[in-house]
């Protein structure tokens, strides 16, 4: 009998894990997820690493050795993270090769402290990808107004990019435009058209922001509606003459990725977003708790409609309830970027404290 997670793949959607710890690499958990639950990629973020470093001693030896070698701050964190991500990339390398590079990816972010500096972000993206020394590693750059130029320049430079912090159709389109321009510039310069990218649209934060404004269940809520609206635009872009010309030149589609698919409402089914957003040609990256819940009792129904289904009706319903969807999308991205800075700074503080504590051991 085909597993429920494999059914997602059969439908055409990739399932990635939104987590990585050294413990799950050491004890074989990630490998088991790949084998049992059809996990074909993973994403990470500063909070995940911060919690892992705080909760265990698994990183102590590496932190002490890297600190003694002269690394500190962001440089030390990047190498700590890449130690884990290289191992994860190697576990996923067979998937990467079997899918001809469409799947089997891991992701590492650039520092949010340089988010407003295009040149510094582009340089950091190239440095991280080179330092990782793995073909299946995305560098994450936020799809904010400040980040769009860095995304375009990084694609032009041939660096695979995971565009993060997208919350609306308009923000997704801006990220897609940056990707397309980067590929078009490569072709104009006589370079190859193939540079992989994904565009990560965050879902659950919409529903947390409007909690109490609408009694409908989450699968009929604002987060899913925004995702469905974006999916329609994604399919329209892939059907456009502009994209077909790039595909004919060898370009690969920038896949739409559902992020933030863990449920925040304790009364909702843990896999509700996963089930509502089963869509061919997309990726769903989910927290470990969501993955296990979906594997245990999830359901895969009909694929998401290419026209977005009832997305516009649901969004209009929230408009009538007083929700300015455009303004809220902007606010979610601004707040998300600020939260990313806070998480990054907390992580650097944690690493500095660990380094000091381990110095004489």
CB atoms within 10 A of CB 169: 24
β-sheet bridge partners, residue 141: 163
Reference 300, options 59, 5, 1, 72; nearest CA is 5
Is residue 140 part of the annotated active site? The answer reads: yes
Starting at the earlier edge strand, list the strands of the sheet with 282-286.
39-43, 14-18, 282-286, 255-259, 197-202, 161-166, 137-142, 106-109
Q: Write down the catalytic residue from 140, 264, 331, 354.
A: 140
Q: What is the CA radius of gyration of the chain?
A: 20
d(CA 279, CA 270) in angstroms, rounded, equals 18
d(CA 286, CA 276) in angstroms, rounded, equals 13
Residue 185: C-alpha distances to residues 153, 159, 192, 290 (Å): 9, 14, 10, 40
d(CA 168, CA 326) in angstroms, rounded, equals 8
Axis crossing angle, helix 169-188 with helix 241-248, rounded to the nearest 10: 40
**CB-based contacts of 205, cutoff 8 Å, min separation 6:** 167, 223, 260, 332, 336
CB atoms within 10 A of CB 89: 23
Quickly tell me which residue has 């050795």 as its tokens.
65
d(CA 140, CA 319) in angstroms, rounded, equals 32
List the catalytic residues. 140
């Amino acid at each position: 009998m085909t597993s429920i997670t494999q059914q997602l793949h059969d439908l055409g959607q990739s399932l990635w894990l939104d987590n990585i710890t050294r413990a799950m690499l050491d004890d074989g958990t990630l490998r088991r997820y790949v084998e049992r639950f059809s996990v074909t990629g993973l994403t990470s973020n500063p909070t995940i690493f911060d919690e892992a470093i705080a909760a265990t001693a698994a990183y102590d030896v590496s932190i002490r050795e890297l600190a003694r070698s002269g690394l500190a701050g962001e440089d030390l964190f990047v190498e700590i993270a890449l130690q884990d991500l290289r191992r994860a990339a190697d576990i996923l390398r067979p998937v990467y090769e079997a899918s001809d590079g469409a799947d089997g990816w891991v992701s590492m972010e650039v520092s949010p402290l340089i988010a407003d500096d295009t040149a510094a972000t582009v340089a950091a993206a190239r440095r991280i990808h080179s330092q990782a020394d793995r073909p299946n590693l995305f560098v994450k750059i936020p799809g904010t107004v400040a980040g769009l130029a860095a995304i375009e320049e990084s694609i032009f430079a041939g660096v695979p990019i995971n565009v993060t912090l997208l919350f609306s159709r308009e923000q997704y389109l801006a990220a897609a435009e940056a990707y397309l321009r980067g590929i078009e510039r490569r072709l104009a310069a006589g370079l190859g058209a193939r540079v992989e990218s994904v565009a990560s649209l965050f879902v659950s934060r919409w529903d947390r922001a409007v909690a109490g404004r609408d009694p409908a269940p989450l699968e009929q809520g604002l987060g899913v509606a925004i995702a469905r609206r974006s999916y329609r635009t994604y399919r329209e872009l892939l059907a456009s003459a502009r994209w077909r010309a790039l595909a004919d030149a060898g370009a690969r589609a920038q896949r739409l990725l559902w992020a933030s698919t863990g449920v925040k409402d304790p009364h909702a089914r843990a896999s509700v977003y996963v089930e509502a957003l089963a869509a061919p040609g997309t990726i769903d990256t989910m927290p470990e708790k969501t993955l296990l819940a979906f594997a245990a009792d999830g359901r895969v129904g009909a694929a998401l409609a290419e026209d977005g289904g009832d997305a516009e009706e649901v969004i209009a319903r929230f408009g009538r309830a007083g929700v300015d969807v455009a303004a809220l999308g902007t606010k979610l991205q601004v707040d998300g970027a600020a939260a990313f800075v806070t998480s990054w700074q907390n992580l650097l503080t944690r690493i500095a404290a660990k380094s000091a504590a381990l110095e004489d051991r």
